[in-house]
Amino acid sequence: MSDAPPQEFDRVTASRLANSPEFQRIYRFRQRVRWLLAGTCLAVLAAYTTLVALFGPVAAGPIAAGSSVTWGLIAAVVAMLIGVCVAGAYVRLAERYFESGSAGLETVE
């Protein structure tokens, strides 16, 4: 680790960065992705909650005769897997687009 103090990010540099077209493009894309992924997670959670709240007997029913695995359990596992996939998608997008796109912004003039 370095003992050097962190560099100051002055207001002039921040202003130039905020007015950069490349920064604006990355920012808008990142916002759209975040809203899309958050909406996906919210929709999955709402669907699962609706299944359990309104269709409890269906969710509690076994997937096959004599099985101890219920439809609610399957739905819960699917909801969790979708959440993991959404998080993975955000990490992949962040590494591919946000990090690589913001690397050139450090030299905004």
Query: What would the pLDDT profile of 69-98 be if each residue is shown by its tens digit?
Result: 999 999 999 999 999 999 999 998 888 877
User: In whole numbers, what is the pLDDT of the chain averaged over residues?
Assistant: 84
Q: Decide if 69 is inside a domain.
A: yes
Q: Decide if 86 is inside a domain.
A: yes
- How many Å apart are CA 16 and CA 2, to the nearest integer? 28
Which residues touch 16 (CB under 8 Å, ≥6 apart)?
A: 108, 109
Q: Decide if 23 is inside a domain.
A: no
Sign of CA dihedral 64, 70, 39, 41: negative
What pLDDT sits at residue 76?
96
The boundaries of the domain holding residue 81 are 30-104
What pLDDT sits at residue 14?
75
Domain count, the chain: 1
pTM: 0.70
pLDDT at 4 over 60: no
pLDDT at 104 over 80: no
Q: Decide if 1 is inside a domain.
A: no
What pLDDT sits at residue 23?
81
Q: Which amino acid is at 88?
A: G
Mean of the pLDDT values across residues 9-33?
82
Q: Decide if 16 is inside a domain.
A: no
